[in-house]
Amino acid sequence: MAIALTLSLHQRPIHNRNPPLRILRQQLLSRNLLSRDHHSKRCFNRLKQFRRITTRDEKKADNYLAILTLASIITLAIVLKHALVQEALQRTRTNIQSLTTTLNAWKEVSKSTNFKDG
């Protein structure tokens, strides 16, 4: 009976098999490349917000590179500022949660002990 229930690897349905290692590597590589592609597209879209870069007002390559560098620094500063603000907000949320936990614990202690004014 047990022999009839066990199926060989070739008789199992395809969806139950584990994918081969090469397919997993390809999927991981494609995800990595898609992530890098997404980040580079976002970077270029941010740089295109600067009119001088989009219209290429600068005729000399050195001047254009200088404007591109300046725009990149400004964009990086904006992104870092946003990241620092988000980190500070997260720290504040954590501090508020710990303070409310402490406050609730003190309320429970004060309820359990009967303080009498004397």
In the chain, the amino acid numbered 28 is L
pLDDT of residue 19: 63
More confident position, 73 or 38 = 73
pLDDT for 85-118, tens place per residue?
888 888 888 888 888 888 888 888 777 776 555 4
What pLDDT score does 116 carry?
57
CA distances from 76 to 7, 18, 53, 79 (A): 58, 43, 16, 5
Query: What pLDDT is stored for residue 2 in this prediction?
Result: 46
pTM over 0.85: no
23 versus 43: which is more confidently predicted?
Answer: 43
